[in-house]
Amino acid sequence: MVLVLALALIGALPVALAALAESASPFAGSTSTAAFPPPDVTATLYDSYFPDESQVGFPGATPTGAEPEAIATAPAASLNFDTYPVIVPSSQYTTSGPAFNPMYHWGNLGPWYSVGGAFGLPNTSPQIPDGCELEQVHLLFRHGARYPTAGEAPSVLAAALHKVAQTTGFTASGPLEFLNTWTYTLGQELLTPFGREQPFQLGVGFRVKYGRLLDKFTSIPVFRTTSMDMRSVQIEWWLRCKSNFAAGFFGIPQYLTSYHEEIIIEATGYNNTLAPYDTCTDSNNGVGGTIGDYASGNWTQIYLKKTTERLQQYLTGFTLTPDYVYAMQALCSYETVSLGYSQFCGLFTEEEWRGFEYSIDLSFWYGQGPGNPNAAARGVGYVQELLARLTKTPLTTFDTTLNSTLDGNSITFPLDQPIYADATHDVVIATIITALNFTSMAAGGPLPWDHIPVDHTYHVQHFAAYASNLVGQVVSCPASTDSIKETFIRFLLNDGAVPLTGIAHCEAENEDGLCPLANFIEGLKERVAEIDFDYDCYGNYTIPTPDTIVNGRMI
């Protein structure tokens, strides 16, 4: 019964538990696993035996066809519901109602899927509306599934189990019997095989949907990402900095010479709109940085109280807590997206998975979303960049998270691209959509800490799952039956059209989610003006009560 030390990311646990994890030896038990490539082996060792295509010669015909534009022609617009090759058995949840898939209730720890009318426009398709022509597209997307980060909930559980196993011992039976021989075999922080596939498939899908816009380019496009732990870079850089998303979008080996990769430093002291938390002091302290943890932690103690009692009967010699059981739910997700399957998944009921999902919703609402006093300030830098791109106006004022070195340069921040693509993190997407004032998602807030509301509308799974993507479509359409063209914009979040009614001058809801571009620009400028970046990020303020904030900023 030897369990190795786990390293993972999810949830907020007491300091005492974190100390327990640190006290366990990282070398206890079997901690080494086979790694590829083997040590001291390089791909260039026998290069002379494997000439490349330029040396071999004899190429076949290479004619290419016209660029695709399925977003304008395909009724389903290539919707995504596939999680191959990872699976979660769902037979135990079969009822007379709609099928329940736990994977769709893992919040930011689950894979993205097309959410349909989740944001309030149920009859809207991602397809370009009839009579409209696509002019430009803006893509913001999250990295794919990754291995856990060190030091949080699952690592605490594994360390505690390991400590008991090495001293007094424990015995697991029934549904927990697998714990007797369970070992932690995950990597740390890097993209999993499934996580590498996700951005590649996203790139392929984006080419099929929007490839026709490549015909409008007059130069090589600039795509942006961040440098943190190589995680976001590995969305676009895979195996010697090869690009996953770009490989899917441009093809192999064409992607090597088809775009410029801009890596923005993600660290304290560097402005970065795709990683704004290091620039906003109050997002990392008690003023605004811990509210989400408190809310989520409080709910965890409530919804997992009975679950803890139910599972304890199968475990002798080790005392479970709601925090430990929460770690088991997190391990279900991490093992599934890493190894393809997890025995932890079958331990929980549909109600318990909905509780897990809501814990993450609470964490984001109060930590990165409408319920946090500086969430909009963190997202406003990207909104300013979006305005610059839409209006083709160079940025000249850098008083938020904008990077004056990169954003002030027309080479590193071009304003004439038909396609923009930026890679970021889940929490950043949350702050950006808060800054964009997508109020339909916040309609059911503020979120209570002790129960799931009936009118709950803020679902992290819908906008911040692995490989989630926000797409801004700029289209020209007939303004009336006289065929006079007008330019509009709309946003698709994981293929779901988002009403823009939270933006001034876009208040009249459109069934396709469209708002006249001029109106949107004017309204978005007003939204930027009402966000007080300096005060929200550096002010010494006290939050009256958490449920008084519903728009991501101090009022």
- Tell me the sheet residues that pair with 498: 491
Q: What one-character DSSP code corresponds to residue 12?
A: -
What tens digit of pLDDT does each residue of 378-417 get? 999 999 999 999 999 999 999 999 999 999 999 999 999 9
**Residue 22: predicted pLDDT:** 37
**Residue 6: predicted pLDDT:** 30
**Residue 239: predicted pLDDT:** 36
Residue 483: which region, alpha, beta or left (left: phi > 0; alpha: psi -120 to 50)? left
Q: Rounded distance, CA 523 to CA 262, Å?
A: 30
Q: How far apart are the first and last CA of the chain?
A: 55
Q: Rounded distance, CA 112 to CA 125, Å?
A: 17
Which helix (H) or strand (E) segment holds residue 236: the answer is helix 233-236
Q: What one-character DSSP code corresponds to residue 215?
A: G
- Both tokens of residue 510? 């459109």
Which CATH number is 102-145+192-284+352-538's, of 3.40.50.1240, 3.10.180.10, 3.40.50.720, 3.30.1360.70?
3.40.50.1240
Q: Which residue has the tokens 């083997």?
A: 38
Share of the chain above pLDDT 70, in %: 86
Higher pLDDT residue, 59 or 211? 211
3-state secondary structure of 249: helix
Report the predicted TM-score, pTM, of the whole model to 2 decimal places: 0.89
Q: What sections of 181-232 are H helices per DSSP?
A: 193-210
Lowest mean pLDDT across 69-83, 471-485, 508-522: 69-83
Residues in the chain: 555
Q: What one-character DSSP code corresponds to residue 216?
A: G
**Residue 256: predicted pLDDT:** 83
Cβ neighbours around 350 below 10 Å, total: 16
Q: Where are the beta strands (DSSP E) in 254-408?
A: 260-264, 315-316
3-state secondary structure of 336: helix
Average pLDDT over residues 317-321: 96
* 368: pLDDT strictly greater than 80: yes
Residue 78: which region, alpha, beta or left (left: phi > 0; alpha: psi -120 to 50)? left
pLDDT bracket for residue 456 (50, 70, 90): very high
Q: Which residue has the tokens 């004056």?
A: 404
Q: Rounded distance, CA 383 to CA 273, Å?
A: 9
What tens digit of pLDDT does each residue of 264-291 get? 998 889 999 999 998 999 988 877 778 8
**Residue 200: predicted pLDDT:** 92
Q: Rounded distance, CA 543 to CA 549, Å?
A: 9
- Please report, for the chain, the start and end positions of each structural domain, with discontinuous segments joined by +: 102-145+192-284+352-538
* 14: pLDDT strictly greater than 60: no
Q: What sections of 404-553 are H helices per DSSP?
A: 404-407, 426-435, 517-530, 533-538
* 230: pLDDT strictly greater than 50: no
Q: Which residue has the tokens 């919040």?
A: 107
* 92: pLDDT strictly greater than 60: yes
Q: What one-character DSSP code corresponds to residue 150?
A: T
Q: What is the CA radius of gyration of the chain?
A: 24
